[in-house]
Amino acid sequence: MNRFWLGCCLIALSTILYAVPVMAQEALQLDATYSSQSGAFSINYPTGWFAQGTEKNTVVTASIASSQAALKQTGISVAGEDVLIHVGTIMSSGSTLVANAAQPFLSSLSDKIRTKCKGKTSVEGRSAEQVEIKGKNFDSTSIYVQYGKGVFAFVTLFAAPDKLDQWRPTALAMAKSIHYQTAKTSSSPNAEPTSTSPQATVELPQLYTAPWLSDVSSSSFCYPAGWVIRNDSADDPFGSLPFAATIASDPSVLSKDLNNGDTFASGEVKIKLWVGLNRGFVGTHVNVDISIDKALTQCLADYCHVSNLKVGTVKLLRPTIARVELTGKGGEGMILVQDMGYEIYRAIYVNTAPGELAQWELNAASIAGSLTLCPQNQPCVASSK
């Protein structure tokens, strides 16, 4: 990443901005239906919206929009509450994998993508690929669903910047409503079973974006489909957090804390992602100039909030990375902190069920590795080194 630029910005920062709460969103009622001329393809959409499309050689292409103006626009820049959705079908004579179905779409937007997330999911028992994009003047979510060998249906929603959380449930509901049947489609679900391997890394197809430094820029990262996020960026008393968020497998897990004696059931995990000046990590008003393992040891003594847990030995994995394992009566966890240079630390905190730390630590590292900082009118920079 451009650490010098980021370091200068952070050192000049005396107070953190505001947190943007992530409210639970629901899909709009889908009481209208668009059907292709042959009737082979149909999809439900919100009442009062507008739709138009064509069908040629069994391939369907249609647009659905919240307003006539949005429906008629030729570009993909979306403003305000307008939403533009492209739906249709794909017949691929090349790759038959749903993971590759989105490639033509991504290639067409290559000069407009600032950052993206991509991963496997499933829709109504069918294998699917979800792609989410933070673009220039738009955010987007796409769902590609496999209906046969090289046969796919898709929903691609374009919304105004930072509106994706609001519209994602509607896009998913529309994808679930698709009816698609031809001589080449299969009526049987084809989703692959989810791996139960303790070392399996879950897919991270969804994109979360939050303001950073007010109107100057934003932070984005990828996370698992269906998980929930709480923005914690306003909670640091030392004013040194450029970004902090908690990601959980379920809304009920957000309030759980191993240090408070809470019990984590199998499959429950809470991950906190933190990036800030190192003084904010150890809980002082001045920047620290010590090795990363000593900084973690100092944090464990107070600011890391582990007083009721059994704390393992702090291990220096690399000169810039330290890690410690934690054990409580209701589960296990760990803290990993990395010195990014220029007095900037990145840390991940994991709380999970007994015996499941190995599984979720990989996912936490993947989420942290996907963190991207996007200054306005400048290229996004990845936080990973």
Residues 247 and 150 in one domain: no
Task: Verify that 176 and 202 share a domain, yes or no.
Answer: no
Q: What is the pLDDT along the chain (385 residues), one digit of tens a residue?
A: 444 344 444 333 333 333 334 545 789 999 999 999 999 999 999 999 999 999 998 899 999 999 999 988 777 777 788 999 999 999 987 677 888 888 888 888 888 888 889 999 999 999 999 999 988 889 999 999 999 989 999 999 999 988 888 999 999 999 999 999 998 888 877 665 544 444 456 789 999 887 665 555 678 899 998 899 998 876 666 555 568 899 999 999 999 999 999 999 999 999 999 988 899 899 888 888 999 999 999 999 999 999 999 999 999 999 999 999 999 999 999 999 999 888 889 999 999 999 999 989 988 999 999 988 777 667 777 765 5
Residues 114, 227 within the same domain:
no
Return the CATH number at 228. 3.40.1000
Domain presence at residue 8: no
Q: Give the pLDDT of residue 20.
A: 39
Residues 152, 153, 158: CA angle, nearest 5 degrees: 130
- The answer to whether 340 and 10 are in contact (CB under 8 A) is no
pLDDT value for 239? 58
> Does the predicted TM-score (pTM) go above 0.85?
no
Give the residue numbers spanning the domain of 316: 197-382
pLDDT at position 111: 85
Q: Which two tokens stand for residue 106?
A: 């991504």
Q: Based on the fold, state whether residues 234 and 167 are members of the same structural domain.
A: no
Same-domain status, 209 and 148: no
Q: What CATH number corresponds to the domain at position 143?
A: 3.40.1000.10
Whether 169 is covered by a domain: the verdict is yes
**Between vectors from CA 175 to CA 170 and to CA 176, what angle results, nearest 5°?**
95
Q: Does residue 224 contact residue 271 with C-beta atoms inside 8 Å?
A: no
CA atoms within 13 A on the CB side of 197: 8
Q: What is the pLDDT of residue 9?
A: 41
**In a shared domain, residues 172 and 283:** no
- For residues 305 and 334, membership in a common domain is answered with yes
Residue 351 exposure: Cα atoms within 13 Å on the Cβ side: 26
With tokens 């492209």, the residue in question is 86
Tell me, what's the pLDDT at 129? 93
Note every long-range contact of 379-384, with CB atoms under 8 Å and residues 24 or more positions apart, other chains counting. Answer: 379/114, 380/114, 380/115, 380/134, 380/220, 381/1, 381/2, 381/5, 381/6, 382/1, 383/1, 383/275, 383/340, 383/346, 384/1
In the prediction, which pLDDT does 200 show? 53
142 in the same domain as 271: no
